Copies of this chain bind each other. A is one copy, B any other.
Amino acid sequence: MSCEAGGFCADEHRRRVAALQRGMTADGIDALLLTTPPDVFYVCGFLTRFWESPARPWFLLVPATGDPVAVIPAIGAPLMRRGWIADVRTWDAPDPRDDGVGLLAAALREMLPPRGRLGAPMGAETHLRMPQADLARLLALIAPATLVDATGALRGAREIKSEAEIARIRAACRVADAAFAGVGDFAGSGRRLDDVFRDFQIALLREGADWVGYLAGGAGPDGCEDVISPADGRELRRGDVLMLDAGAVKAGYFCDFDRNFAIGGPSDAARRAHAALHAATDAALSAARPGMRACDLHGVMARALQAQGAAPLGGRFGHGLGVSLTEWPSLSPLDETPLRAGMVLTLEPGVEVAPGRIMVHEENVALRKDGPELLSARAPAELPALD
């Protein structure tokens, strides 16, 4: 990845590494081990869909000072070497005798003091993408160095987006804006939900998505039963509310927002639910400022819904967004993370329209010093109707 080919310049990545290293220093971490697609992409600009194969682990090491070291399967070497990381070490994976663990331990011994602290993300919303048995083997090889939680350093860096990152998320949002504008061309009474899902993915690709990393939604009388099910062959009927939730990917960055459509004229209940959600999002757009906590912004939306007489859903009303479809923080009553300028967030209030029927409304924003900048085109105040 070069600047010219749509990649970021090395400067951008060096700033990210510096941010990680500040957090590592604060937490006394001597080296950071990253293993997941978003984390490796974030540091290296290494973008591939090959992660879909669980066969091979990939390792990225960030030392407390100096440049990262990539310890990766040989199949990834040409792509990694086109990026800014100079130290790329490879093995022929998969290797049942030693799938990179020895090579990784050798690289770590160069970075870690004898009783050093190897950080890895171990907290909320993280996992280690490597076999658990190999992790145990690695820790035995680097002992007496120990494994410590580096979620704080990772979050601290990834939560704040650069202008280059915000531009990519905005580009992904524009793809979805354009695709949503054309939903009336293929969705309506009598159309099968699975065909609508397929056509919507085609629309996202036509509007410039590199791929469609996520699509969810549903349809039912006045709202969906849930928002994570795959589409089935049920036909849309008048009285349904159709919801489509798009995670289009553009140059490695996601958008994540939904739109609702009434099939035929909406019922009063659906119209009121949509109006309440729109008002709650307006309230969040007015109120959000750096220094608030994530739970405070949840409270703004929950109170706005209640003021409209709507029944707020449990759970969170939004989250971070960027190299993953969802990132820290959670706009939930339990998340006290301070909001900071540079965060990109979804505002996603939800209501129960009737027992077992829900409606969710979502926008994507970049939080600026003086409030949120919309990255998605603001949804219409009135629930739009399709024939």
- Cross-interface CB contact of A78 among B209, B225, B231, cutoff 8 Å: B225
Instruction: Quote the shortest CB–CB distance from A152 to chain B (angstroms).
Output: 12
Q: In the complex, what distance in Å separates the CA atom of A126 from the CA atom of B194?
A: 31
- Bound together, the chains give a CA A380 to CA B341 distance in angstroms of 56
Query: Which residues does chain B contribute within 8 Å of A211, judged by CB atoms?
Result: 201, 212, 215
What size tier do the contact residues of chain A reach? 35 or more
Q: How far is the CB of A328 from chain B (nearest CB, A)?
A: 8
Question: Cα distance A74–B201 when bound, in Å?
Answer: 27
Render A61-74 as a binary contact track against B, CB cut-off 8 A, 1 for contact: 00000000000001
- Name which of A230, A315, A316, A356 has the most chain B CB atoms within 10 A of its CB: A230
Closest to A330 in B: B94
Contacting pair A126 B228 (CB below 8 A): no
A269 within 8 Å of B (CB atoms): no
CB distance from A271 to the nearest CB of B (A): 24
Number of copies: 2
A124 at the interface (CB under 8 A from B): yes
Given A54-B127, A95-B334, A214-B52: A229 and B78 within 8 A (CB)?
yes
Report if A6 contacts B (CB, 8 A): yes
A339-350: CB near B (< 8 Å → 1, else 0) gives: 000000000000
Q: Is the CB of A315 within 8 A of B122?
A: no
Would you call A96 and B49 a contact (CB within 8 A)? no
A197: which B residues are within 8 A, CB to CB? Answer: 210
A216 within 8 Å of B (CB atoms): yes
Closest B residue, CB atoms, query A149:
B133
Are the CB atoms of A120 and B132 closer together than 8 Å? yes
Q: Contact between B124 and A94 (Cβ–Cβ < 8 Å)? A: yes
Nearest B residue to A313, CB-CB: B75
CB pairs A–B below 8 angstroms (9 shown): A49-B230, A50-B228, A53-B214, A54-B125, A76-B226, A94-B316, A94-B335, A96-B334, A128-B128
Beyond A52-B213, A127-B130, 5 additional pairs, beta carbon < 8 A: A48-B216, A49-B228, A55-B326, A79-B228, A127-B131
